[in-house]
Structure 1
Amino acid sequence: MERRRWLQAAVLMCLLLLCSGRELKDEPAPVYNSTLAKTLAEYTSAVYTTDLSQLFTWTCEKCNDLTQGFEMIELIIDVQNCLEAYVGFASDMNAIVVAFRGTQENSIQNWIEDLFWKQLDFDYPGMAEAKVHSGFYSAYHNTTLRDGVINGIQKTMEAYGNVPIMVTGHSMGASMASFCALDLIVNYGLKDVTLLTFGQPRIGNAVFASHFKKYLPNAIRVTNEHDIVPHLPPYYHYFPQKTYHHFPREVWVHNVGLDSLVYPIEQICDDSGEDPACSRSVSGNSVQDHLHYLGISMHSESRGSCRIVTDGNMLRYKIGAPDGTIILSKQPGLSVDQQLSAL
């Protein structure tokens, strides 16, 4: 019995070395910080809070632990399209955090069908032949989210200086986060932009992925076990120019081991975006794996609708916005009580 346990331990050690060390032989591994990933996962989880009052004042159940002390600046809710994002300042990281919520309308199973939409020509300068997912592109560029996010970033920078920007999101929110990070660099000339997403679907073709890599070489997409969404829209190996293609770099979180000796690892994948040894090595057949990342819940308390709740006092923070949009905004450096007393 003891010999069997030693054998299992030896096999587990070999698996860990194989998964964590394979890439080091090929090229230097990119910077992946597990603590930062867990922190941004908590920021991403918080955006699923239904009660806008708790989210805006950062008093929600998910607004603690590694995100404690975060200062919310701008909260944008496009009610018509069931989209949401927020911008704020994390003093412990001296950084702006931008988080996008994943889809909340209907169920995961239903909206997965929408991931098969056709591609759209990408109109960014110098990116000929790049094509992107029309729905994800439009969710960021053709709704009120983009203006609200940019306004929040500018307002926060005016107060705290040219600090780093960390953009994150889960599921469809990860897609919008990716377009946002690229937008900030290409169209607004910002340099210090970090992108780290969770459970992201493919958003463009191989040409787009190649351009994306040039502008955001250290972007990280965290995938989890058999999560179905990173496998969509499908990747067709025989149509490299037309198929959807992930941009690098993936970090695949999964368990390795035998029997009771199971150990979770964060495997850093190659720079192709489609490493066959990472999440593509397993079937993407789990919705449950999509709803939890790094031990953190990634879904709303009220699944199945775009329901939101807010205190009447919060509407005093509302600023002018198009129909169907709620924007709660405050001046950086002021607490909620200070701003309410100044109104």
Structure 2
Amino acid sequence: MAASAYSDHPELCVKDNFKQSNFKRRIQVQCDLLKEDQCSAFTAISHSDKAIILSFRGSEEDEVTMEVVDAITVLPVTEFSGKAKVNQYFYDAFNDLWNAGIKNDFLSLKNANPGYELWVTGHSLGAAMASLAATTLVTTKIFPADKIKLVTFGQPRVGDKTYAELIDSIIPYAYRVIHKNDLVANIPPQFLYGYHHHKSEVWYNNDMTKGQPYLECDEDESKKCSDSVIDLSIPDHSMYYNVTGSFASNGCKGWNVFTQ
């Protein structure tokens, strides 16, 4: 679902991969007034899994460089009732989408389907926004933490150590999947304004094809996972489980090799 957020028609992927599903809506906003970057997210529901889906789109290829610049030059801001500092660019992008209709669409699905889980996901910038979405939902008591599954791909560092500790303490099911030497997973750097990854990390130090091993590190900034390498790579950021976001343009039939 993280990859399908790159498509102009993610409803095709939702239909392809869930037996009983409904697509709510895709929302797109201008998330950077100066560079006209576009941010996007969608909501859907899988009745067969009894899960609401909230997926945030990542960076387009020509946006990545500028977002790296933003991430390392924009000062973090204090949010979540003063309990954490987060990157302002990521936080503003999330709020723009949240207030443009994602929040209302989510609430509509939640109220119509009591007891369902919530799956929150995204890749790259979308991963940062997914992390902020899950944190917002729990800290504002909109949705119970024990029913949230947060799984992101190529997530940059979103906030400081207090933000990492906040997520660690309130969201039991939170996983950051990292492909090998993914550059974006290493920005902003830790030495800059105290940025810090939250747990848990799932690190594939390989091409992520079917059957390849992974290492799970259930601590913040573990030196046993991706922090153990310094040879960073942009190609590793764009390719997860042997697919790119562009593959979802015409639907997602057969996309999940683990169910074949």
Seen in structure 2, the aligned counterparts of structure 1 residues 208 and 89 have a Cα distance that, compared at 3 Å, is same
Q: Which residue of 1 aligns with 2:190?
A: 235
Matched, 1:205 2:152: no
Moved more, 286-295 or 90-99: 286-295
* Structure 1 unaligned spans of 5+: 1-42, 257-262, 303-343
Within-5 A mapping of 1:1-343: 43-50=1-8, 54-55=9-10, 58-59=11-12, 62-63=13-14, 66-67=17-18, 69-79=20-30, 81-104=37-60, 106-125=62-81, 127=83, 130-141=84-95, 143-191=96-144, 192-236=147-191, 242-255=193-206, 264-271=212-219, 273-299=220-246
C-alpha root-mean-square deviation of aligned residues, in Å? 2.5
Q: CA-to-partner distance for each residue in 1:67-119, whole Å, 9 max, x for gaps?
A: 45431112111145401000111122110000000122724344322220333
Please identify the structure whose Cα radius of gyration is greater.
1
- Find the aligned partners of 2:20 and 2:51 in 1 and give their Cα distance: 13
- Find the aligned partners of 1:83 and 1:193 in 2 and give their Cα distance: 23
Q: Which residue of 1 aligns with 2:253?
A: none
- Find the aligned partners of 1:109 and 1:103 in 2 and give their Cα distance: 9
Moved more, 158-167 or 89-98: 158-167
- Find the aligned partners of 1:203 and 1:161 in 2 and give their Cα distance: 30
Contact conserved, 1:94 with 1:164, CA < 8 A, in 2? yes
What amino acid maps onto 1:255 in structure 2? N
Contact conserved, 2:19 with 2:48, CA < 8 A, in 1? no
Shift of 1:216: 1.2
Shift of 1:254: 1.9
TM (norm. structure 2) is 0.83
Contact conserved, 2:180 with 2:206, CA < 8 A, in 1? yes
Q: CA-to-partner distance for each residue in 1:206-239, whole Å, 9 max, x for gaps?
A: 1221112111132100000111111111123xx8
TM (norm. structure 1) is 0.64
- Find the aligned partners of 2:177 and 2:57 in 1 and give their Cα distance: 16
Q: CA-to-partner distance for each residue in 1:150-193, whole Å, 9 max, x for gaps?
A: 11111112322231111000000000011100111111341122
Contact conserved, 1:78 with 1:145, CA < 8 A, in 2? no
Contact conserved, 2:21 with 2:47, CA < 8 A, in 1? yes
What amino acid maps onto 1:244 in structure 2? Y
Q: CA-to-partner distance for each residue in 1:102-148, whole Å, 9 max, x for gaps?
A: 12272434432222033333232261xx211111011112x143451
Contact conserved, 1:119 with 1:131, CA < 8 A, in 2? no
* Structure 2 unaligned spans of 5+: 31-35, 250-260
% identical equivalent positions: 29
Seen in structure 2, the aligned counterparts of structure 1 residues 149 and 107 have a Cα distance that, compared at 3 Å, is closer
